[in-house]
Amino acid sequence: MTNPKISKASNVRKPHQIYYDLAESLSNIDILKFIKIYNGRICASNLLSTNKKKQPITKIGQEGVVGVELLIHPEHKSIDFYSLTSSKKGCGSQMVKSIVDVIPEDWTIVVTMDWSGGFWDKMIEEYPQIIVL
């Protein structure tokens, strides 16, 4: 990996190609400065935690945060939006687009909890492959 925005957790050995595809796509969003690949998930944010772990912050509703956390299941060909937050208008839809753009057609994109008040309804209109449970 040569992209300075992208890092891997130390215990990640050989992640599925989808992790790299998602990380590269998210790195094209200017506000996202930190993208980290973990086992089973990927996080991207404009801010890092201040603890030793230096994790991208993706806490929903936290002031000043733009971020996303995805749970990735290559064996089931599915991606779950675990969290998506944006304190800046338009960034949420940019993140969704960057994810949908790289997911293969035979994969499923799932939102398990919708507390958005209409955001995911708009995203489903634009990207019918997203499933909200």
| Tens digit of pLDDT at every position of the chain (133 positions) | 689 999 999 999 999 999 999 999 999 999 999 999 999 999 999 999 988 888 999 998 899 999 999 999 999 999 999 999 999 999 999 999 999 999 999 999 999 989 888 999 999 999 999 999 8
pTM of the model: 0.94
Domain assignment of residue 122, yes or no: yes
Domain span including residue 98: 6-132
Domain assignment of residue 1, yes or no: no
Number of folded domains that form the chain: 1
Helix and strand numbers, DSSP H then E, in the chain: 3, 7
Domain assignment of residue 108, yes or no: yes
Backbone angles phi, psi at 4, to 5 degrees: -65, -15
- Our CA angle for 27, 29, 30, nearest 5°, is 100
The whole-angstrom distance between residue 48's C-alpha and the CA centroid of its chain comes to: 15
Alpha-helical (H) ranges within the chain are: 17-27, 91-100, 119-126
Residues 72 and 40 sit within 8 Å (Cβ to Cβ): yes
